[in-house]
Structure 1
Amino acid sequence: MALRLPAPVVGAMRRDITSVAEQVIAAVIHEVPSYSDPFRGQMGRNIEVAVKVALEGFLDLAARREGIDAGDQIETVLEAAYALGRGEARSGRSMDALARAYRVGARVAWREMSEVAVAAGLSATITARFAELVFAYIDELSDASVSGHADELATSGRLRQRRLERLAIRLLEGAPEADLVGAAERADWAPPDLLVAVILPEDKVRSVQARLDPRLLQLSEDVPVLDIDSGLTVLLVPVASVRGRSTLLRVLRNADGVVGPARPWTAVRASYLRALRAQRLGLLGDTETHLAELVRTADADALADLRERALAPLGDLRPASAEKLADTFAAWLRHHGRRDEIAAALFVHPQTVRYRMGQLRDLYGDRLTDPDFVRDATIALA
């Protein structure tokens, strides 16, 4: 942009600059309703000063000599426009309102300043070039604001994502409730009543995410607090009720995932630990359908000791005989002593079952009628 207006014309415009700024602001307030509140009070006075600075920067640009770089002259104005764009993003507004305000401002400023210029004797040719300069200048300010808006969104988005990740980590660590509430507030995250921990392959997330509550939190396997296999991720999914969890199960039906129980959001660590235990055991789907297996295998060493104690009376038999009697004993426990069902389960004749049970009674004696022993053996041999 290159244009050197005569000094008397620029002087006349400068004398009228306060009035032009006031009219620009009035037009923006009238034509861009979302700006009616920001222009009140101290902020309004600050904006009025900013508009005057922008107009003065434009006049500096219009008055410069050919070939002289105007960068220094308008740098402060462009920085202010950039900051204005960032402020719009922080306020949660898109660039639409600001872009409209720029258009309104350009129209009013051109109308008022051109009247002064023509009255001061500016030729038609220079007036046309002056119009081009006005709108090119507004385009530069708008571009600077767009950049500021985009940079603020990117920065704030990354910051919020980091805060959400820290919140998810604290949830899985089982941090105190007060710490979790504070972390949720810092992340601008509205806590649900219930959360469900889900472990599923990372490549399945995209296909289900759109159908889940947008407040869900996601963690991948590279997060230190997690102990999941490569290629898996953890979702903490808000649900409103047991019915909401049923909907979640339907959404994840073909996702090859593990779905923990619903828990109060501050206690979701328990849901994660159960889902993790099921995943390690290869139990996919709803953990609620695997409760018995999860309980039975919760302490592998204890289960092994319990099994060893339940089968101790068979310790002196040959391995093949001990194995047959152990299978018969387990079937007897599962089928509550019903001989025909035991025989069908073992693919043997009922008389064979009768013979083997005689052997077991000789070996175990009264323990087969002891409720505590039968309970322990049932768990051990399930």
Structure 2
Amino acid sequence: MTRLAWSEVPRSQMDRFADVALAESSDLAHEILRAIRQEFPELRLVEGESGEPKALVGIRRAIEGFVHHLASGAADPRVPSEVFQEFGRGEGLNGRSLDSLQAVYRLGVRLAWRRFAEIGQQVDIAAPAMYELAESGFKYLDGLVEQSVRGYAEAAARQEGERLRLQRRLIDRLLSGPHADPAQALGERAARIGWELPATVAVGLLIRPAREAVAPALGRGILLDMESEQPRMVIPDPDAAGRVDHVRHATAGWSGAIGPTVPLASAVASLRWAETAVALTEEGLLPHGEVQHCTDRMEELLLLPSRDLIDAAAARCLTPLNDVAPAQARRLAETLLAWIETSGGAPEVAGRLGVHPQTARYRLRQIRELWGDALDDPDRRFELLLVLRSQRLRDALPAGGTHPGSR
């Protein structure tokens, strides 16, 4: 700022002001610190290498720096940055807010200004110049706060980085395998990040929508590891009221899967199901753009990963369709599956397929001719159900052989 009135103060008066203020800087610093300790008794003071409280050293340096720069005619007094950054770091590391630190600074500046005003009167500095001095003091306060904010942010980032590191280690330990006594194996690690061990968890696995995607805002209660190629999350008490909705909103725009709810000791089992679902999503067998709940995709998770085994079974139990024309083979397979699923007759099958009951009845007769008494065996029907459902999920119901078959 431009200080017109202050710049017109005679050099001799500036020097007398500076001499008196600097001579009293130590006493003024002690007075300010006493007032701060009285006003803020919870403030913890740390001693420096000299044995003096660092706060006292900082106050004295702030007073001296301010006075030196005023006497030199500098427009913007320079803040002793390192000292006040350290104060900000201390507030952050001790869990206090910046508001409390700013209140301390305001008290200090108010007391310093009161004494400077008295010195100004002693050396006959005109009121307009002292008003400008007050403005400089408030600007100086802004600089102190700015430096402390930097230190505070640095401490907060460091603490958050350490918390995330400990959180990843807890997740690693939790998912390293079944734990006979999770409270003993995980309790200390969980306590270090303030995470209360839940009775049950569900483990989620995410697919990044973009390489630099911002982490989902899941909140502190849900463990999240964004360092993994596929981010992992551990959801405590997943069946608690509102938990499902919270996770769904927080992960909007992400793809992935959440495993079933399991006891804490069996978290790795939930992870395995989530891994299976994510693998199917990446193959295009489950939809992208949402985080699937494995319990909502039981059919796909049970049948699709077993498709090699099921295809081998299909080669045996669907042999009656080998000599049927492709289009007819598919219609018969769809009809057979509808018949097994409904456990009904032609009307129920027709309703399931959206065809005329007579058409369904005709196809059922063909199916009986092809499979014969095998359809009366519950085990064979169950095998056919698994095979046909698996193929329907993959849109791979049999196309039959190359020979003409029934209509």
Mapping of residues 331-350 of structure 1, within 5 Å: 331-336=338-343, 338-342=345-349, 344-345=351-352, 347=355, 348-349=357-358
> Would the aligned equivalents of 1:110 and 1:131 in 2 still touch at CA under 8 Å?
no
Kindly provide the CA deviation profile for residues 39-83 of structure 1, in whole angstroms up to 9, marking residues without a partner as x.
Answer: 48779722122222322333433544x58x998xx66x3432333
> Would the aligned equivalents of 1:275 and 1:287 in 2 still touch at CA under 8 Å?
yes
Mapping of residues 169-208 of structure 1, within 5 Å: 171=171, 175-176=175-176, 188=193, 190=195, 193=198, 194-195=201-202, 197=204
What is the alpha-carbon distance in structure 2 between the residues aligned to residue 143 and residue 264 of structure 1? 53
Structure 1's 339 and 244: CA in aligned 2 closer, same or farther, altered over 3 A? same
What is the alpha-carbon distance in structure 1 between the residues aligned to residue 158 and residue 47 of structure 2? 33
What is the alpha-carbon distance in structure 2 between the residues aligned to residue 108 and residue 246 of structure 1? 52
Residue 122 of structure 1: aligned partner: 123
What is the alpha-carbon distance in structure 2 between the residues aligned to residue 176 and residue 38 of structure 1? 41
TM-score by length of 1: 0.68
Residue 142 of structure 2: aligned partner: 142
Q: State the percentage of identical aligned residues.
A: 21
Structure 1's 170 and 269: CA in aligned 2 closer, same or farther, altered over 3 A? farther
Residue 377 of structure 1: aligned partner: 384
Q: Does 1:306 align with 2:309?
A: no
Q: Does 1:111 align with 2:111?
A: no
Q: 1:323: Cα distance to partner?
A: 4.3
Structure 1's 89 and 78: CA in aligned 2 closer, same or farther, altered over 3 A? same
Q: 1:255: Cα distance to partner?
A: 5.8
Unmatched tracts of structure 1, length 5 or more: 227-233
Unmatched tracts of structure 2, length 5 or more: 390-407
Kindly provide the CA deviation profile for residues 251-293 of structure 1, in whole angstroms up to 9, marking residues without a partner as x.
Answer: 6599687763335675453353254256442357644233123
Structure 1's 152 and 116: CA in aligned 2 closer, same or farther, altered over 3 A? closer
Q: 1:299: Cα distance to partner?
A: 2.4
SS at match of 1:242: coil
> Would the aligned equivalents of 1:331 and 1:345 in 2 still touch at CA under 8 Å?
yes
What is the alpha-carbon distance in structure 2 between the residues aligned to residue 298 and residue 9 of structure 1? 84
> Would the aligned equivalents of 2:303 and 2:386 in 1 still touch at CA under 8 Å?
yes
SS at match of 2:235: strand
SS at match of 1:297: helix
> Would the aligned equivalents of 1:17 and 1:52 in 2 still touch at CA under 8 Å?
yes
Structure 1's 102 and 281: CA in aligned 2 closer, same or farther, altered over 3 A? same
Q: Does 1:282 align with 2:295?
A: no
SS at match of 1:269: helix
Residue 231 of structure 1: aligned partner: none
> Would the aligned equivalents of 1:189 and 1:215 in 2 still touch at CA under 8 Å?
no
Q: Does 1:238 align with 2:238?
A: no
Q: 1:325: Cα distance to partner?
A: 4.3
SS at match of 1:60: helix
SS at match of 2:109: helix
What is the alpha-carbon distance in structure 1 between the residues aligned to residue 251 and residue 76 of structure 2? 62
SS at match of 1:37: coil
TM-score by length of 2: 0.65
Residue 270 of structure 1: aligned partner: 272
Aligned length: 354
What is the alpha-carbon distance in structure 1 between the residues aligned to residue 119 and residue 16 of structure 2? 11
Which amino acid letter does the alignment assign opposite residue 124 of structure 2? S
What is the alpha-carbon distance in structure 2 between the residues aligned to residue 70 and residue 318 of structure 1? 91
Q: 1:295: Cα distance to partner?
A: 0.7
> Would the aligned equivalents of 1:262 and 1:271 in 2 still touch at CA under 8 Å?
no
Q: 1:359: Cα distance to partner?
A: 1.0
Residue 248 of structure 1: aligned partner: 245
Which amino acid letter does the alignment assign opposite residue 136 of structure 2? A
Structure with the higher helix share, 1 or 2: 1
Mapping of residues 68-87 of structure 1, within 5 Å: 77-87=80-90
Q: 1:340: Cα distance to partner?
A: 4.3
> Would the aligned equivalents of 1:17 and 1:55 in 2 still touch at CA under 8 Å?
yes
Q: 1:112: Cα distance to partner?
A: 3.4
- Please provide the CA RMSD for this pair: 4.8
